[in-house]
Structure 1
């Protein structure tokens, strides 16, 4: 077979169409390529834009961070200054509070001082009148006592003991130094022991006093009338409103001073009466007597200090047996200790408490020895 028989000829129309199709596909691909290139460029531009935006954002973020840190530092400085100022204001407030407290204390102290001075003024008028005379004795004002209290101690004696007081202190000291003493009692003798007499006495007493609103103290009473009559007349007089009085609750005589305490049911009577110290009361018809009306003081002990004291002229004799009657034994003890040969001396007082009896000895202030 020849070569011409192996190939068939393609019509020209078919080839032309095929070429057109290829050319059209190429055109399409070119358009698609251009679109892709445009998309690529768009993406590249978008990427570059995003990179720039990111860089700008990072820079802006850094700037914001710096501004925030600067603001924080500024705020910290401001807060510290405010805190320092607040601390200063608190210190100033505390200082002002302390000053106010001190001022209040001073005002309270001033009020208390005024009340105390007022009470002292009232106290000075509340003491019944007594006649006094200056005898030339001087005292340091800083140590002068506010009240003169006479010491009085009640001493319970034990059984089989005696208290003996000598006129001279050295006699008591001599007996105490010897301690044991043999006392001759007729045909027999006894041995007694000399001991010092010691007890607690007040050394410092402080009292708070206040004027009672319902009571008055009446002094300068007549001596010639009976107590019952005086009490009745006082109650009648001071219960009348025309005498600036009121309803009387109680009328009591103070036995130690001879003055009278009148208690009213109302609180405002006492202050009115004490504004006029002297009052005339009618004891008998047509016979009047002036009495003094002063505030009545209520007292409360706020400080009491005690100390041990010894009797310089008194000796306690112990170990005394009941060998005879009380009076005879007491006389023999006095006779024995009055003799200088027995180391004794002049006896000022003696009391003997035998077994089975109860005796209370009263000690009072020792009077100064006169030369």
Structure 2
């Protein structure tokens, strides 16, 4: 068998060495190195040893690389496990976060409901406060209203009534009279009722004149209930406790006094006397003056050459809020119609009054008699009952 030739190359500075391997049937492998003059066996051994070291170093490097690979694999496994745990932790945190979000949403919803309930309660409290404020304002106005009534001397008569705040008002009803009619008021109701039942009455005037009048009932629309919403005016004051003197000088003195700022007053727009109560109503131009004067209440004013202490109280503006009326027949007053104009007014009125006073004609004592001739226009005024009686004054 022809031996194969193999060539080994070492470092570049060495030249090529030719090594011949001979294969025979007796040996599997044989190395034949032809001797050369340039290379010796020692150099070849050194080369082999060098290669062995390199081989050992490669094995060591390979083992180190394997160890590093194992370390890397172990580290990768640890990272993988940590990644799994982190993923699980993230999922758990996500679930916890979602649960927390749901809980927070529920708390927010509950808080919103509580806030809504609180807002509603606040509104209710505000409404209650407003109602209480309005009620207090109303009570204060009522107190001002009753404190504004001019002072009058009163006596307790031993009578009791309902615990209500009322005003006494005098009724004045204006009734237009047609021509040829008369109003007649009897002292007793029974007389008026008898005259009304007879209806037609023949009245004789003188010796030859006679005419017929008809008696009719008088119906009046009377108030049964009057509710007035009163409030204190910011421009007006009432001045009471005034001495009796001429009205014109009194009004001038009061206007001059209360128009001065040193007395707490201001520009006066109007000053007028209320003769039924001997009280003066004073109107200011500005609306911030009356209140200060009312708070002071008592004021010293020079009247009749000396200082007089007068009282200043609020002025009330009233508005009717409820009015209930009823048609009522006057029990003692009748209307006579069909009266002709046959003589002068006073004479004919006297003749009619004499006729209806006689008991033979069914009449009786007459309290009032008013006659309106044909072609004339007048009005009768019906007032309230006189004090301490149950009879009306017409």
TM-score, normalising length: structure 2: 0.66
CA contact (8 A) 2:341 2:374 kept: yes
1:353 corresponding residue in structure 2: 372
The Cα offsets for residues 301-325 of structure 1, whole Å up to 9 and x where unpaired, read as 2222222121110111111121222
Tell me which of 183, 192, 201 is aligned to 1:172: 192
1:90 to 1:291, Cα distance in 2 relative to 1, 3 A? same
The Cα offsets for residues 98-142 of structure 1, whole Å up to 9 and x where unpaired, read as 75554444222211111011111211221111111112222232x
1:91 to 1:249, Cα distance in 2 relative to 1, 3 A? same
1:185 equivalenced with 2:205 (yes/no):
yes
TM-score, normalising length: structure 1: 0.69
1:250 corresponding residue in structure 2: 270
Cα offset, 1:90, TM superposition: 11
Cα distance in 2 between the residues matched to 1:97 and 1:315: 68
- SS of the aligned residue for 1:228 comes to helix
Cα distance in 1 between the residues matched to 2:111 and 2:362: 84
1:139 equivalenced with 2:161 (yes/no):
yes
Cα distance in 2 between the residues matched to 1:315 and 1:221: 43
Cα distance in 1 between the residues matched to 2:117 and 2:189: 64
CA contact (8 A) 2:201 2:214 kept: yes
Cα offset, 1:328, TM superposition: 1.8
Cα offset, 1:213, TM superposition: 1.5
2:45 corresponding residue in structure 1: none
Q: More deviation in 290-299 or 96-105?
A: 96-105
2:349 corresponding residue in structure 1: 330
Give the number of the structure with larger relative contact order, counting CA–CA contacts within 8 Å between residues 6 or more apart.
1
Structure 1, unaligned stretches of length 5 or more?
A: 1-81
- SS of the aligned residue for 1:221 comes to coil
Tell me which of 308, 312, 322 is aligned to 2:327: 308
1:94 to 1:336, Cα distance in 2 relative to 1, 3 A? farther
Cα distance in 1 between the residues matched to 2:239 and 2:328: 37
Cα distance in 2 between the residues matched to 1:265 and 1:334: 54
1:203 to 1:110, Cα distance in 2 relative to 1, 3 A? same
Cα distance in 1 between the residues matched to 2:364 and 2:282: 52
1:342 corresponding residue in structure 2: 361
Structure 2, unaligned stretches of length 5 or more?
A: 1-104
1:218 to 1:179, Cα distance in 2 relative to 1, 3 A? same
1:182 to 1:243, Cα distance in 2 relative to 1, 3 A? same
1:99 to 1:310, Cα distance in 2 relative to 1, 3 A? farther
2:252 corresponding residue in structure 1: 232
CA contact (8 A) 2:215 2:336 kept: yes
Bigger share in helix: 1
1:196 corresponding residue in structure 2: 217
The Cα offsets for residues 76-112 of structure 1, whole Å up to 9 and x where unpaired, read as xxxxxx9xxx9x9999999877755544442222111
Q: Indicate the RMSD between aligned Cα atoms, in angstroms.
A: 2.7
2:89 corresponding residue in structure 1: none
